[in-house]
Amino acid sequence: MKLLSRAVLFHLLRTGLGSRSVSYVQGQSPSSRTREYFYYIDHMGQLFLDDTKVKNFITCFKDQQFLVFFFRQVKKNQSGRYEDEFPYISPCGRERNFLRCDDRPIVFTDLIRNGDPESECLSFCGGGDRLVVKFEPEKLVMLPKNGRVYHPAPEKTGGVGLVKSALAFELSPFFEYSGGPGKPPTHFQWNDKRYELTNELLQLMNVKEDV
Question: Which whole number is the average pLDDT over 176-184?
Answer: 83
What are the sequence ranges of the domains in the chain? Answer: 24-101, 107-204
Q: What is the pLDDT of residue 78?
A: 96
Residue 10's φ and ψ, nearest 5 degrees, are -60, -40
What percent of the chain shows pLDDT beyond 70?
88
Q: What is the pLDDT of residue 178?
A: 86
Q: What is the pLDDT of residue 20?
A: 56
Residues 19-43 have pLDDT tens digits of 456 899 999 999 888 999 999 999 9
pTM exceeding 0.95: no
Q: How high does pLDDT run on average in the chain?
A: 89
Q: What is the pLDDT of residue 209?
A: 62
Q: What is the pLDDT of residue 3?
A: 41
Residue 210 banded pLDDT, cuts 50, 70, 90: low
Q: Which of 40-49, 115-124, 186-195 has the lowest mean pLDDT?
A: 115-124
DSSP result, 101-168: ESS-S-EEEEEE--S-GGG-EEEETT-GGGSEEE--GGG-EE-TTT--EEEE--GGGTSEEEEPHHHH
Residues 2-22 have pLDDT tens digits of 343 443 333 333 344 444 568
Answer for the pair 132, 112: CB distance below 8 angstroms, yes or no: yes
Distance CA 39, CA 91 (A): 12
Residues 52-106 have pLDDT tens digits of 999 999 999 999 999 999 999 999 999 999 999 999 999 999 999 999 999 999 9
Percent helix, strand, coil in the chain (nearest 5)? 20, 25, 50
